[in-house]
Amino acid sequence: MKYALVTGGSRGIGRAVCVKLARMGYFVIINFVSNQTEAEKTLSMVKEAGSDGELLKFDVSSTEESAKALEAWQAAHPDDYIEVLVNNAGIRKDNLMLWMDQDDWYKVLNTGLSAFYNVTKPLLKAMVLKKYGRIINMASLSGLKGLPGQTNYSAAKGGLIAATKALAQEVAKKRVTVNAVAPGFINTDMVEGLDIKALSSQIPAGRFGEPEEVAALVGFLASPEASYINGEVISINGGLYT
Ligand code: NAP
């Protein structure tokens, strides 16, 4: 059995990634923080896709909680390791810098950037020792371009992109790849409240993307075929920003 962990797998892009990895034959560990019902729905979809999985609830923004959950998983599976990690969980708390609360700055940084450390660190050693691993980080167009009203989110995603490039060079010799995906606007709960019609008119493709389209790219980066792609950031945005 080969294992993959998807953080924020209960909804949106994370859910679609879980289903894609299930189709690729992975046993999928579905992380979430609060939405048990939606996480269970993802697990059913993973089973319908012909594989199996389990739920692993923990807050990726907490170093202690993440380490505890992942160490417990490893202790329960002494002969196995997680060979695919998708750091996908993320939140946004948009505001102009002038009005941004300190709390909203740190919450977004901790969930979008520190979580990369919290979750990757406990899993990295096994990938390096087994000489095979795939780490895919969910960045954003906001982290490449910077978007007004999102200094916290842009900082988190920009930092994640830089961390991706740095770690890729540390572990490349051990056949571990570390890449980032940078979506534009994707139809999930996260874009609720946005003016879809107005924004779509600015996107060359004329529409928002679907979670499954992002999952297809993640699936490729997770596959053995992507073995020579390392430290890359791949945009998936309908031509919005190149
Ligand atoms: P979403 O529909 O809002 O789902 C967010 C997921 O993250 C949920 O599964 C949620 O779990 C989980 N999560 C949030 N905080 C967490 C925490 N502290 N610990 C563990 N899990 C946590 O978001 P999405 O649109 O699919 O976004 C997925 C990723 O893509 C994010 O990193 C986001 O920044 C990025 N992205 C999205 C877009 C877009 O347009 N949608 C564009 C660019 C980048 P619960 O269900 O338990 O709350």
Mean pLDDT of the chain: 98
| Closest C-alpha among 150, 167, 31, 27 to residue 97 | 150
153 belongs to the catalytic site: yes
pLDDT digits (tens, 9 = 90+) for 194-238: 999 999 999 999 999 999 999 999 999 999 999 999 999 999 999
Query: Is the beta carbon of 133 within 6 A of some atom in ligand 1?
Result: no
CA–CA distance, 95 with 105 (Å, rounded to integer): 10
Determine the distance separating the centroid of ligand 1 and the alpha carbon of 173, expressed in angstroms: 31
pTM comes to 0.99
Q: What is the mean pLDDT of residues 94-118?
A: 98
Q: Tell me the best of 91, 144, 147, 157 to mutate to test the pocket of ligand 1, counting ligand atoms within 8 Å of each CB and taking the most.
A: 91
Burial (Cβ within 10 Å: 0-12, 13-18, ≥19) of residue 197: exposed
pLDDT digits (tens, 9 = 90+) for 38-66: 999 999 999 999 999 999 999 999 999 99
Q: For residue 240, give the amino acid letter.
A: L
Q: What residue's CA is closest to ligand 1, atom 46?
A: 35
Determine the distance separating the centroid of ligand 1 and the alpha carbon of 89, expressed in angstroms: 4
Tally the C-alpha atoms within 13 A of residue 236's C-alpha that lie toward its C-beta.
Answer: 21
Q: For residue 242, what pLDDT is reported?
A: 84
Residue 28 has phi, psi (to 5 degrees) of -105, 125
